[in-house]
Chains A and B, each alone.
Chain A
């Protein structure tokens, strides 16, 4: 942007919270300088492949962004441009951006890219249509703690409805893949369509978490037998049916993704990508609040489907126990959208453990750093130990829409 040079750089250090800082930078238009990114790590100094890949994605959906790396990759300067979406001629062909994720990024699930991208998408000038593919595209939950795409679709994307963003949002899973072992490839493929852009998201007031009325879920088996799904579902329902009779878990069995090998003398050779199984559960409360849990088989294997099912069910119960209207994995999305809303105070009840999470606190600090008003917090009272967070919107919203 033209005024990017005049604005002073916001300075951050460390590799943590990288995506949320870059997202906030893009939304607010403030350039950032992030230094000391893993400075002392000998083997993995500087930015990691998945972080570079995210920067490439930002570059693809914005126009006029400037990204500068330091020599060792431990310093990054990012001057954001306008969020244009999948505009022809700027990285998109046929209205679709194809974002390849290399094999080195397979440690992270694809939700690590998708969730921040979804925060940017409502503020884009044009439609957002991105296909993630490649040898590092993992659709399942990962040991690194990323959600599965099913959880993103069923637990994160419905939250946008409360901000008045609901039309033409799709997350298509074209090829599923579990997280592969070290040195192997995943080979999933996911398409995100986000065609509802708004000027300003609506102000949110969510104070009543309600009571859980239904639980849905998706069990996926990729390249392994479908009986694994049945076993996961059986144990998960054994735990959950006591509490919520309206529990139903769908089963999705797909074959392993095939990745072309580039061997000599065998040009059409293919090998299997990440195989495994996993479970994604979503609980919906009477006031349409969502709680989700994810578990998947680790790449090294050796865990029975029963364990995964039980683990996931307990994780869901834990998530519900934390309370509040928004769970931990979705809180960044909700708070960012609230902060980008109109100049009005939105309120959100959160569980004490959710707001006390390190990432959430850091998000609040970063938001203030980017020029937002601080959060107001008070005890919820009413015999619940939650906390009500008041967030004042910036009132700037979608700059691209304003100009258009």
Chain B
């Protein structure tokens, strides 16, 4: 139909009121047209099929005690049941705004210390507490296997740089690579030095090399410790010889010759005179020799 301005059918006041009333939940008690129609439908349905249950379930959910009261009433008042069907289907929810009153929660001491200390507060001050328990709970066998795997992996890695460079001729290495692998093998078996180390060089060079190597090793260990990597144990450094060194031939039997004079240390004197209670073993040995 053509839209004609100003000729729209007016909604009468009665119509407006009736439609309004049927929609609004406040007018449930009055028997409106809507309820009548539903009643007719219901009766027709009940005639064909079983009688319907009196009360719908929805009402029970929100207010059970009222629903039960209504159930008792509904026996004598059949019209009343129409009320439930026209009531709003969604239950009324009461949402109260979150209280703006400051809660009396107190932050932990550590958090207070983290914020109020003289340092700028770090962002990672939270979520630190629950960690230690989990780490201690891990069983020690697991730790041991981790250690073992770590060492095995290190061994593999040590040789892998040699293996990666080999041509695909198999396990036989040739030339310099063979020397290197032999060297590695020897070192793992406990050789003091690599076979590649230069034997003869100026003293300053050697000192420099040794110092540099020590420094490099120390840095490597420090870094590994910071990163939590487990390295191999520190090898035994060659032990300092204890005890008296064998003097040269023709030297004095006691003391040291220095600048044309025989110098006797306090210990030598004590050995000779035999005074004092200590050092019995040395004294005895000397006596026997002389």
* Residues on A facing B (Cβ under 8 Å): 153-154, 157-158, 160-161, 169-173, 191, 216, 218, 233-234, 237-238, 241-242, 245, 248, 250, 252, 284, 288
B116 touches A158 (CB 8 A): no
In the complex, which of the residues B98, B101, B112, B119 contacts A250, with contact meaning CB atoms closer than 8 Å? Answer: B112
List which B92-112 residues lie within 8 A (CB) of chain A: 98, 100-103, 105, 107, 112
A153 to B115, CA, bound (A): 10
When distances are taken between beta carbons in the complex, the residues of chain B under 8 Å from A154 are 115, 120-121
B120 touches A169 (CB 8 A): yes
With contacts A250-B115, A252-B116 taken as known, whether A158 is within 8 angstroms of B102 at the C-beta atoms is: no
List which B119-148 residues lie within 8 A (CB) of chain A: 119-123
A151 CB to nearest B CB, Å: 11
When distances are taken between beta carbons in the complex, the residues of chain A under 8 Å from B119 are 153, 169-170
When distances are taken between beta carbons in the complex, the residues of chain B under 8 Å from A250 are 112, 115-116
B123 touches A288 (CB 8 A): yes
What would 18 more interface pairs be, CB under 8 Å, given A154-B121, A158-B122? A153-B120, A153-B121, A158-B120, A158-B121, A161-B120, A169-B119, A169-B120, A171-B118, A216-B115, A233-B102, A238-B100, A238-B101, A238-B102, A241-B98, A241-B100, A242-B100, A248-B105, A288-B123
A172 to B120, CA, bound (A): 10
A153 touches B100 (CB 8 A): no
Query: By CB atoms of chain A within 10 A, which of B103, B105, B118, B123 has the most?
Result: B118
B178 CB to nearest A CB, Å: 45
When distances are taken between beta carbons in the complex, the residues of chain B under 8 Å from A171 are 118, 120
With contacts A171-B118, A218-B116, A284-B123 taken as known, whether A234 is within 8 angstroms of B102 at the C-beta atoms is: yes
When A and B form their complex, which 5 residue pairs have the shortest distance between CB atoms, in order from nearest? A157-B120, A172-B118, A237-B102, A170-B118, A158-B120
B71 CB to nearest A CB, Å: 44
B201 CB to nearest A CB, Å: 33
A216 to B112, CA, bound (A): 10
A242 touches B120 (CB 8 A): no
A-B contact pairs, 7 of them (CB 8 A): A153-B118, A169-B120, A216-B115, A241-B101, A250-B115, A250-B116, A252-B116
Beta-carbon nearest neighbor of A237 in chain B: B102
A9 to B3, CA, bound (A): 81
A191 to B98, CA, bound (A): 42
In the complex, which of the residues B98, B107, B121 contacts A245, with contact meaning CB atoms closer than 8 Å? Answer: B98
In the complex, which of the residues B102, B107, B121, B123 contacts A241, with contact meaning CB atoms closer than 8 Å? Answer: B102
When distances are taken between beta carbons in the complex, the residues of chain A under 8 Å from B102 are 233-234, 237-238, 241
B121 touches A173 (CB 8 A): no
Beta-carbon nearest neighbor of A149 in chain B: B118
Beta-carbon nearest neighbor of A241 in chain B: B100
Beta-carbon nearest neighbor of B119 in chain A: A170
A216 touches B118 (CB 8 A): no
When distances are taken between beta carbons in the complex, the residues of chain A under 8 Å from B123 are 158, 284, 288
A241 to B103, CA, bound (A): 9
When distances are taken between beta carbons in the complex, the residues of chain A under 8 Å from B121 are 153-154, 158, 216
A233 to B98, CA, bound (A): 19
A292 CB to nearest B CB, Å: 12
A299 to B214, CA, bound (A): 64
A238 to B107, CA, bound (A): 18
